[in-house]
Amino acid sequence: MGAAVSVPEITVGLSSCGVAAGAADVHAALAREIEARRIGARLRRTGCVGMCYREPIVDVALPGGARCTYGGVKPEHAARIIEEHVIGGRPVAELLVRAEDRTLPDEAYYARQVRLVLRNCGVIDPESIDEYVAAGGYDALAKAVRAMTPEQVIAEVKDSGLRGRGGAGFPTGMKWELARKAPGTKKFVIVNADEGDPGAFMDRSVLEGDPHSVLEGLAVAAYAIGADEGTIYVRAEYPLAVKRLAIAIADAEKRGFLGERVLGTGHSLHVHIKEGAGAFVCGEETALIASVEGRRGMPRIRPPYPAAKGLWGRPTNINNVETYANVPWIIAHGAAAFAAYGTEKSKGTKVFALAGKIARGGLVEVPMGITLREVINDVGGGVPGGHAFKAVQLGGPSGGCIPEEFIDIPVDYESVVQTGAIMGSGGMVVMDDRTCMVDIARFFLNFTQDESCGKCTFCRIGTKRMLEILNRICEGNGREGDVERLQELGEKIVSSSLCGLGQSAPNPVLTTIKYFRAEYDAHIRDRKCPALACRPLLTWEVDAAACTGCTLCARACPAGAVTGERKKPHSINQDLCTKCDACRQVCRFDAITVR
């Protein structure tokens, strides 16, 4: 967990998720305590360590002492941490989530992880190039440009078996070779940081926690294919990532890692940031290029692939954030060390954004080939609150829902595809018995329908028709034959769309029909939602045995549907009830039932 320190070091995780949980206030409180007591301690900043479920996170390291991690820290804890731990040398036991003796329960979160991409996340200060260099940063770039030919770099990446981490899994080395061999002297490299999948935040965390690793990977790629200009296309919704990237680019230029004559060689690379303007389809590489060129982000037919004709018609290499972040590690440690992790066809590790109904949600990196069960139960701690695991959604709107029967499949590109889902960029949303699968299918269709660029008729109108059917089913107006109509439309949209958005848009619907058909039938035939999620199909009632007649629900009901005398059981007039759930939310005696 880091090197020994000469003065006490207190580190606060300040990525977007940390800040959202209140880490900035904790940082300020610690600064005040250090100032007030005039102790010689260093207050540091870092990105997301991955333990988002414990945010805000504070790390304390003492000279000659154990390094400890605190979770769920509040500003009012600052004084105790300084007083008892930094000055007194006794860690505050009840806030500890990780310590060097490795006996705390949160240790399980890390036990199965292998952190190659996330090697510096939550460890170094993302705004300090010195800390990146001290951690071995830019050694790989120096090795590549000084000791290797571009062909040797490409061979190393090919031998590593690295495949694109954006979702499709195309071999990275082969992609680079195509761009290198494409005729032309002016070539481009692009980082696809347009992370638009709802439920995914890997790229944001890497950009916020370790921006230099992405820049270094980009610089190695540029050298390998012979590009002198790079663009980072990043979502405008990630302001902190944009800010930290801008700092990293400026610092790397000052040190000669980027700019004219990289590290004194004949190779140059100028990198610009391009902020996306909010269009999911721009994650598709040809649409992304159109957007960089200032046009509507619409995909075009491939071939020609960007490797031959990309930005401004020139050979262009596009990879996603995580792919590039792997590259410095591969060059520094060698292809064989990387290929030692993973399965035969899926090498290395994969970063997942673990969220939803899971005890330990956050950013995890596991070797390929580990089973879904191991990720969800061992790393993530399983479904909390005594509820039953139902499915895991992989790959966002392009992916699908994997039911419990496949929970023991290994996590690799081929095994996941066999279930009808896709690996995707790494969003992993866990669902329990309270999640309605028809509603989830509708949720994703609503998204893709909205984000379709409109170029292909099947994608534009087909998804709209599918959404109409799903809306009808969730509202209790489903008809016999609806499921078959969804399947037929879905298959046609898959086969008739130009780009990945349309080709994968029906996946969430098709996989939920495949594995949860009974739930569709319950909605259509019985007008019931077994997960109790689709409100139009539910009924709110008062459990007379539990009701104390406190009148809270009657006062909360905006429709005047709840009536009753004080201290006597109340009742709900179903004709007036608008199914707003206000009565249940205020009830202190669990006396409102929904079925």
Partner 1 sequence: MERRDCACVDAERLAVVDEVVAARGTAPGSLIPILQDVQARVGYLPPAVLARIGERAGVPAAQVHGVASFYSQFRLEPVGRRIIKVCHGTACHVQGATAITEALCDELAVKDGGTTADGEYTVSSVACLGCCSLAPVMMIEEGTYGRLTPEAARKVVRKRGK
Which positions touch partner 1 (CB under 8 A)? 16-17, 19-21, 52-53, 55, 195-201, 204, 235-239, 274-280, 291-297, 312, 353-357, 361-363, 393, 396, 427, 429, 431, 435, 440, 443-444, 447, 451, 453, 580-581, 585
DSSP H or E stretch at residue 270: strand 270-275
Which residue's entry shows tokens 């596991």?
366
Shortest Cβ 335–partner 1 spacing (Å): 32
Query: Crossing angle, helix 150-160 and helix 211-225, to 10 degrees?
Result: 120
Q: Which is nearer to partner 1, 316 or 346 (CB)?
A: 316
Q: Looking at beta carbons only, is 217 or 424 nearer to partner 1?
A: 424
Question: Closest approach of Cβ 195 to partner 1, in Å?
Answer: 7
Strand, coil or helix: 302: coil
Distance of CA 36 to the CA centre of its chain: 39
Nearer to partner 1, 197 or 519 (CB): 197
Strands (DSSP E) found in 479-573: 540-542, 562-563, 571-572
Of 140 and 290, nearer to partner 1 (C-beta) is: 290
- With a CB cutoff of 8 Å and minimum separation 6, the contacts of 215 are 245, 248, 249, 252, 257, 258, 271
Q: Which CB atom, from 238 or from 305, has the smaller least distance to partner 1?
A: 238
Q: Closest distance between partner 1 and the C-beta of residue 264, in Å? A: 30
Nearer to partner 1 (CB atom), residue 214 or residue 429: 429
Instruction: Write down the least CB distance from residue 460 to partner 1, Å.
Output: 13
Shortest approach of partner 1 to residue 163 CB, angstroms?
Answer: 23
Query: How far is C-alpha 167 from the geometric centre of its chain's CA atoms?
Result: 12
Query: Which CB sits closer to partner 1, 233 or 520?
Result: 233
How many CA atoms does the CB half-sphere of 75 hold within 13 Å? 10
Mapping DSSP to helix (H, G, I), strand (E, B) and coil, where does residue 529 land? Answer: coil
Strands 42-46 and 67-70: unpaired
Contact call for residues 198 and 325 (beta carbons, < 8 A): no
What is the rounded distance in angstroms from the CA atom of residue 408 to the CA atom of residue 388? 16
- Is 337 or 359 the residue whose CB approaches partner 1 more closely? 359
Give every CB contact of residue 498 below 8 A, 6+ residues apart in sequence: 299, 300, 301, 455, 456, 459
**Alpha-carbon span 583 to 591, nearest angstrom:** 10
Distance of closest approach, residue 198 Cβ to partner 1, in angstroms: 4
Least distance CB 435 / partner 1 (angstroms): 6
Residue closer to partner 1 (CB basis): 16 or 326: 16
Q: How far is the CB of 539 from partner 1 (least distance, A)?
A: 18
- Three-class DSSP category at 317: strand
Residue 336 CB, shortest distance to partner 1, in Å, is 34
Render 425-441 in DSSP notation, one character per residue.
Answer: SSEEEEEETT--HHHHH
